[in-house]
Amino acid sequence: MKNKNVVVGIIIFVVLVLAMIFIKNFTNSDGENPLIGKLTTVYVATGGGKEDFLNDKDVKNILRKKYKLNVVFDTWSNGKTITKPLIRESVGLGNQDIVSSMENGKTYSINSPGVTKYDALFTSDQRFYDYYKLAPNKDAGEADRYTVLDGGLTLNTPIVIYSWDKVVEALIKEKIVTNDDGVYYITDMNKLIDYILEGKKWKDIGLRSLYGTINIASTDPVSSSPGATYYGLLLSVLSEGQVNSTNVKKNLPKLKDFYIKSGYMNNTPADLFERYLKTGMGGEPMIVDYEKSMIDFANSSPDAFNRVKEEVTILYPAPTIWNSHCFMVFSDNGAKVYKAINDPEISQIAWEKYGFRTGVTGGTYDVSGLGIGVPKSITSTVSSLKMNTYNKLIDYLKES
């Protein structure tokens, strides 16, 4: 009897292995899976910052099984969605004959015959979402655009400042930070900005173990979307929420001074966040990043998170500003993906594993399991700035 059970077990194991191989290898080029049925292939030009979420196996399974969609997310930078024709060939994919022609100088548009069009754009910055819906500025070399049929803010994460317990204790004594039921808010952002502009040292606020002047490390606003969003927040704070031509002109010199005093800047938030964790309070006392980074870190590296969670602290500027990943629909198939991305199951994965708040307001979330000060909802925010305001800001910062 024992030998018989072993044989049966081996047979079951072999059948399961063969079934897995069959499912993996016998999905045909039209996207038809024998256990799921025919899939519709949809192409989405996609801004950065959400690659792990979109590649999540559970997200992919929901898209395939529930919505019968094989979604191909091609990586694009936000700026190139404006300046290059939004076709797969612009990023070396699709029709390779056209790719070769483009490399040899031939120009194409979204209306050229034979190009591979996109069904949707999933940008990682609201200013590009708003700007894309306008007519292209041909004098500035902007490319033709698709008609936007639908869309909206889909994945959201607020700008936060990551620091350390001892730094936060000092900032509380300076009446810059307030503890509200375990959540730390920067309630006097203007005072913190003034300290940086005045060149105040860490030792001046009682942190004698830290060398140099008070600083908040960020990615470069000239070349990085997170950095630009952060400087947009600073401009809003300095303008007391009234961002107009007069206040912009008045506060740009302050921001330029702030930018110069910030010194070396990383180009990617992932590199900056890694440096923050690896070098500790002595290396990076305060950095700017997204709320999602800590939640993602806690889920992807639980052992490492548990080693530092008693010391790391999240500071929420009051107000803060959203980094919003916005979805825009160009076709009926794009509309199917938009509906799927807003599916409650996918939204739950977006928050619990990757730290994206979903919906226009950011929603209300159960944060008790994190064991670190994350608010259930984000209520104090400023609006994202328009593209022309960001351009003025960035151009001013670039001036020597």
Average pLDDT, the chain: 90
In a domain, 360, yes or no: no
In a domain, 100, yes or no: no
Report percent pLDDT > 90 for the chain.
Answer: 78
Task: Kindly tell me if the per-residue pLDDT of 368 is higher than 50.
Answer: yes
Q: What is the pLDDT of residue 227?
A: 92
Task: Kindly tell me if the per-residue pLDDT of 5 is higher than 70.
Answer: no
In a domain, 284, yes or no: yes
Q: What is the pLDDT of residue 36?
A: 59
In a domain, 101, yes or no: no
Higher pLDDT, 186 or 360: 186
Task: Kindly tell me if the per-residue pLDDT of 37 is higher than 50.
Answer: yes
Residue 3 binned pLDDT confidence (cut-offs 50, 70, 90): low
CA–CA distance, 370 with 16 (Å, rounded to integer):
37
Higher pLDDT, 95 or 13: 95
Return the CATH number at 184: 3.40.190.10
Say how many C-beta atoms besides its own lie within 10 A of residue 391's C-beta. 14
Task: Kindly tell me if the per-residue pLDDT of 371 is higher than 90.
Answer: no
Q: What is the pLDDT of residue 29?
A: 43
Sequence-distant (6+) residues with CB within 8 A of 298 are 305, 309, 370, 372
Q: What is the pLDDT of residue 30?
A: 46
Higher pLDDT, 70 or 242: 70
Task: Kindly tell me if the per-residue pLDDT of 8 is higher than 60.
Answer: no
- For 57, phi then psi, to 5°, come to -65, -35
In a domain, 280, yes or no: yes
Q: Could you report the per-residue pLDDT of 316-340, keeping only the tens digit for each? A: 999 999 999 999 999 999 999 999 9
Are the C-beta atoms of 252 and 393 separated by less than 8 Å?
A: yes
Are the C-beta atoms of 288 and 159 separated by less than 8 Å?
A: yes
pLDDT, average across residues 58-80 = 97
Q: What is the pLDDT of residue 268?
A: 83
The number of distinct structural domains making up the chain is: 2
Q: What is the pLDDT of residue 361?
A: 47
In a domain, 143, yes or no: no
DSSP 289: E
Task: Kindly tell me if the per-residue pLDDT of 26 is higher than 50.
Answer: no
CA–CA distance, 7 with 177 (Å, rounded to integer):
67
CA–CA distance, 5 with 7 (Å, rounded to integer):
5
Q: What is the pLDDT of residue 370?
A: 76
Looking at the fold, whether 168 and 309 belong to one and the same domain comes out as: yes
Task: Kindly tell me if the per-residue pLDDT of 279 is higher than 50.
Answer: yes
Q: What is the pLDDT of residue 68?
A: 97
CA–CA distance, 230 with 236 (Å, rounded to integer):
10
Query: Could you tell me what percentage of the chain is helix, strand and coil, using 3-state DSSP and rounding each to the nearest 5?
Result: 45, 20, 35
Residue 59 binned pLDDT confidence (cut-offs 50, 70, 90): very high
Q: How many residues does the chain have?
A: 400
Looking at the fold, whether 23 and 169 belong to one and the same domain comes out as: no
Residue 379 binned pLDDT confidence (cut-offs 50, 70, 90): confident
In a domain, 258, yes or no: yes
Q: What is the pLDDT of residue 4?
A: 57
In a domain, 122, yes or no: no
Q: Could you report the per-residue pLDDT of 109-157, keeping only the tens digit for each? A: 999 999 999 999 999 999 999 999 999 999 999 999 999 999 999 999 9
Residue (of 328, 330, 316) closest to 362 by Cα position: 316
**Which range of residues forms the domain containing residue 15?**
1-35
Q: Could you report the per-residue pLDDT of 283-297, keeping only the tens digit for each? A: 999 999 999 999 999
- Do you find a cis peptide bond into 285, omega within 30 degrees of 0? no
